[in-house]
Chain A
C-alpha cells in the first residue's frame, strides 16, 4: 500500500511502486481528467501539480510522490488562479477536441502562480512542452493574458 495526498485527501493505493502517478490517478482513483498522451513526458497532457509545481504524471512513479501534495484538474477551480484560467479558457472558447486541455490549464495555472504578468516569451517557455494537436495555441496564449489581466 502506498499513501498519496491527492486534492487534499489521503488515499491508499495498492499498486506496484513503479506505477506512474498517471495510472494511479486514472485507473485506481477514477480521476480521469488527467490524460494519457505519450507515456514519456513528451506532450504534457498529463500535467498535474506536485507541491504547486507542474509535473508530468505519466513519467513519475507513484513512489516518488508519496506524501507530497498532488493537485489535479478536478480541483483546479479551488484556487483563485485556477478559476481565472478556466474562466478565460471559457470566455475565449479555447478548446477544440479538449483532450490536452487539462494539461494546458495545469501548466498555465503553474505559470501564473509564479508570474502574474507573463510576456509572450514567458508563455513560450512555460507552455512549449504542452502539445495541442488541434493547435489551439493562438487562444491558449490569449487566454493566459486574459487570465493575467483578471488577476491583476
Chain B
C-alpha cells in the first residue's frame, strides 16, 4: 500500500485549514445515526430532534452524553475504529463506554489520509500514524470548548475546571456537569486557535485498555457488511468472467439464464456478462445456465512453471539498480568465499472471508455506494467518470469490510467499477448488489505477484560479510496505475523492492537490482505487507544461511550488523530474551526434529522480530509450536489490539508459508475455493507471545508489520531442525522427509 514515502509535506497547514472549515458548527437537525438495524446504513445521519455539539469533522457530542467519533479509515479488522476513537477520546477525556464510532463519508477535503496528499483512503498501515496529531487536536479542541462553556455558566476561571470520563467539574465549588449538559452551550463557544495537548504521562486510554468498539455487533450478527445490504427493488448481480486474463466476450446466449425464476436481466459489461436476479441464488443459477463465447485471441496463456522459468532466466542478467553502495563487484572479486541462494514466491490470493461485493444505486442527486470502502477518492473519481457525475455526487457509505488485506484497495477500483458498469447497463433502473462468489473472487486475479530472488554474499577470510548482491524479478504492482507517477522512479517500483533496497545490515558493498517483466498479464496488487511479504523472506533467510556458513550465531551476527539501527536491535534482543534463545530447545517426540529460528524486519516504520519454534516430523510435515514476537511501533495506542494484530499476522503469514499458492496452467487459475487454496486452521495455529517495546516515538503501523518476519523465522527454524532451508514457498513437506 502507499506508504511513508508520500507523506504530505503540508500536514500542519491542512490541520489549520480543516479546523477553519468546520469548527464552531451548530447542527440542531443532525444527531446520532439510527441504531444499527435492518435499514441500510447511510452516510446521512437520520434527522432527529436532539442538538449536537460538533466542534470539528471528527467529533459530535450529543445532549444524551453520547460521544461519536467519525472515523475516516476503513475498519477491516485491524482495529482502526477503536484506535482512532481512543486517540480522540483521550484528549477529550471522554467516558469510553459512551464513545461510539461512525464511518466518515467520502469527502477528501475533510477526511484525506494526511500521508496521501489530497486522497482519502486506508492503507500502508498508517491510519494511526497519519491521524495521531489530527485526532489529538480534534479531541483537545472539543474539550477546551466544553470547558469554556462550563466556565461561562459557572462564572469561574477555566483553569479551575477539570475533565474526567465525560464529566466537567469545578472542584472548588463541587459543581459538575456531564458532556451532554454542556453540548448546546459548547457549540456556541469560539473555537480556540491553539489547544494544549496532554503530557503522555497523563494518558488514561492510550497505552491502557480500551476495548474494541465493534465486538458486540460482531458477535451477535448485527454488524453490517456490504453483503448484508438490502434495498427496495435491489437486484443481485453475479458475473461470468472470462476463463483467462485478457479474454473478452464475443457473444452469449442468455435464453436458458432468463428462464431461471428470479432472473431479471442478463447484460454484457466490459468485464464479462452479468446475470441479475431478485436474490443471490437465482442469480447464481442464472449464471450457471448462461453460455458465453469468449474471444481468447488476446488472452494470457502462460502457466506458473513457465513464468517461473522465465524469471530464473531473467535473473541471470543485470536489472535496473534499486540500491548501490560501495563497490559490490570489487567485494566479490576479492572474496575468500561466496554464498549463493535463490528463492521463489508464488502468486497469492487475498481470500478475505467476505468475497468482493459492492452496492450501487443511482438517484436524483447522483449515485450512492455501499462498500467496505478503502479508496474513497479513487473510487469516487472512477464512478463519476462512468456516470458522468462530479466526484462529490458520488456518495459512499463506508461499511465494515470482512477482511481486505489490500484487496479492497484496488488501484483501478476493479470490482467497484464492475458494479457501476452493471448499473449503467440496466440504465440505472434498480439498485444493484454485485456479489462475487468464492470462485469469482479467487480467480479474478489482483494477486500478490510471483517473485524470484537471487542473492549472493561475499565473505572475507575472517568470515566477515563484505559484499551483498540481491536481484529481484517480479511484476510491478504500480506500473500503469494512478500511483505510478508517485511511487515508480527510474523504472523501480518502490513496492517491489521495499525491504530489500533498505537492508539495515552494515555491509560495506551492496547492490540491489530489479527486473519488472511487462509482458506477464496477471493482475497484481498489494497483499498485506506488500513488498516485505517476499523481501523479508529473501533477506532474512539468506542472512541466516550466511551466519551458518560463517559458523556464527544468527542473533549475534544480526546484532553485530545492526549497530546503527537501534530499533531493529531492540526488538531482536527482546525476542531473543523472551524466547530463551540462548537455551537449547527441548527435543520432541522420537523421530521428529526441532529447531528455533529468528527474523527481524521493519515495515511501515514499525519493527518486529520473531523467534519461531518448529517441529519437523519424519514425513517432513511442519508444525510451528510457538512464536515469540517483539514489536516496536512507537507509542502503543491500544496494546491489546497490537497483540491481536500480531497474533493474527502470525497466522496469516503462516497460512501463506504452509499452504498459500495460486497457480496458473495455460493461463487458467487452478484454485477456485478453499479446497484448493488452503487457509490455516485452528489446529495449525501456534502459541503466540507478543511483547511490546515501550516507546515514546510517534505511533506507526501494526496491521501489516507482524507478517514479514514470520515465514523467514519459520524457515530458519526448519533449517535449524533439518539442516536445509526451504527455497520455494509454500514449504513442501517432501523436501524435509527423513
Contacts and interface: CB of A to CB of B under 8 A. Distances in A.
A81 interface: no
B199 interface: no
A39 B682 contact: no
Given A97-B403, A135-B654, 20 more contacts: A27-B230, A30-B38, A32-B227, A36-B280, A37-B354, A40-B674, A72-B221, A86-B220, A97-B353, A98-B217, A99-B225, A99-B354, A99-B403, A102-B221, A131-B679, A134-B77, A135-B648, A137-B680, A138-B688, A139-B644
Interface string A120-141: 0001100111111111111111
A36 B675 CA distance: 16
B353 A43 contact: yes
A89 B221 contact: no
Contact of B214 (A95, A123, A129, A132): A95
Nearest to A58: B438
Interface in B271-311: 279-281
B401 interface: yes
B311 to A, nearest CB: 28
Contacts of A145: none
B219 A105 contact: yes
B412 interface: no
A128 B650 CA distance: 17
A136 B685 CA distance: 9
Which of A15, A27, A76, A130 has its CB near the most chain B CB atoms (within 10 A)?
A27
B403 A134 contact: yes
Given A35-B353, A39-B438, A123-B682, A93 B221 contact: no
Interface string A58-87: 000000000000001110110000000010
Nearest to A140: B682
28 contacts: A15-B281, A19-B281, A27-B230, A31-B221, A32-B228, A33-B221, A36-B227, A37-B438, A39-B438, A43-B353, A73-B220, A86-B220, A89-B219, A90-B211, A93-B211, A93-B644, A95-B214, A97-B76, A97-B403, A99-B352, A129-B681, A133-B351, A134-B652, A135-B680, A138-B687, A140-B682, A141-B682, A141-B685
Nearest to A100: B353
B437 interface: yes
B402 interface: yes
Contacts of B280: 23, 26-27, 36
B223 interface: yes
A134 B77 CA distance: 7
B600 to A, nearest CB: 21
A6 interface: no
Interface string B34-49: 0000100000000000
Contacts of B406: none
B79 interface: yes
A140 B368 CA distance: 37
Interface of B: 38, 76-79, 211-212, 214-225, 227-228, 230, 236, 261, 279-281, 351-355, 400-405, 435, 437-438, 640-641, 644-645, 647-652, 654-655, 673-675, 679-683, 685, 687-688
Contacts of A119: none
A131 B681 contact: yes
B644 A27 contact: no
Nearest to B681: A128
A38 interface: yes
Contacts of A93: 211-212, 215, 640-641, 644
A98 B674 contact: no
Contact of B647 (A32, A77, A136): A136
A115 interface: no
B527 to A, nearest CB: 12
Interface string A21-65: 001001110111111111110110100000000000000000000
Nearest to B654: A135
Given A135-B651, A136-B647, A140-B682, A27 B353 contact: no
Contacts of B683: 124, 128
B519 to A, nearest CB: 32
B115 to A, nearest CB: 23
B215 A95 contact: yes
B281 A23 contact: yes
A33 B38 CA distance: 11
A96 interface: yes
A121 B562 CA distance: 42
Contact of B78 (A43, A96, A136, A139): A96
A79 to B, nearest CB: 13
B682 A89 contact: no
A33 B673 contact: no
Contacts of A26: 228, 280
B279 to A, nearest CB: 4
Contacts of A123: 682
Contacts of B261: 16
B644 A136 contact: yes
B681 A95 contact: no
B638 to A, nearest CB: 9
A33 B220 contact: yes
Given A27-B280, A133-B403, A138 B221 contact: no
A72 B353 CA distance: 19
Contacts of A73: 220-221
A131 to B, nearest CB: 5
A89 B674 contact: no
A135 B220 contact: no
Nearest to A138: B647
B700 to A, nearest CB: 19
Contacts of A15: 279, 281
Contact of A77 (B220, B402, B641, B685): B220
A105 to B, nearest CB: 6
A95 B403 contact: no
A15 B438 CA distance: 23
Which of B79, B221, B649, B680 has its CB near the most chain A CB atoms (within 10 A)?
B221
A144 B644 CA distance: 17
B281 A135 contact: no
A124 B211 CA distance: 27
Which of A40, A72, A73, A129 has its CB near the most chain B CB atoms (within 10 A)?
A40
B674 A42 contact: yes
Nearest to A88: B219
Contact of B402 (A40, A97, A135, A140): A97
Contact of B221 (A34, A128, A130, A134): A34
Given A28-B279, A97-B400, A127 B220 contact: no
A137 B682 contact: yes
B221 A45 contact: no
Given A32-B228, A93-B640, A135 B647 contact: yes
A72 B220 CA distance: 10
Contacts of A133: 351-353, 403, 405, 652, 679
B688 A131 contact: no
Given A23-B279, A97-B402, A45 B353 contact: yes
Contacts of B353: 35, 37, 43, 45, 97, 99-100, 131-133
Nearest to B645: A96
A30 B279 contact: no
Nearest to B261: A16
A21 B687 CA distance: 36
Which of B211, B280, B353, B437 has its CB near the most chain A CB atoms (within 10 A)?
B353
Contacts of A86: 219-220
Contacts of A94: 215, 219
A135 B652 contact: yes
Nearest to B224: A32
Contacts of B78: 96
Which 8 pairs from chain A and chain B are nearest by CB? A33-B221, A135-B651, A99-B402, A98-B218, A97-B77, A96-B77, A73-B221, A32-B228
Which of B38, B217, B644, B655 has its CB near the most chain A CB atoms (within 10 A)?
B644
A114 B284 CA distance: 36
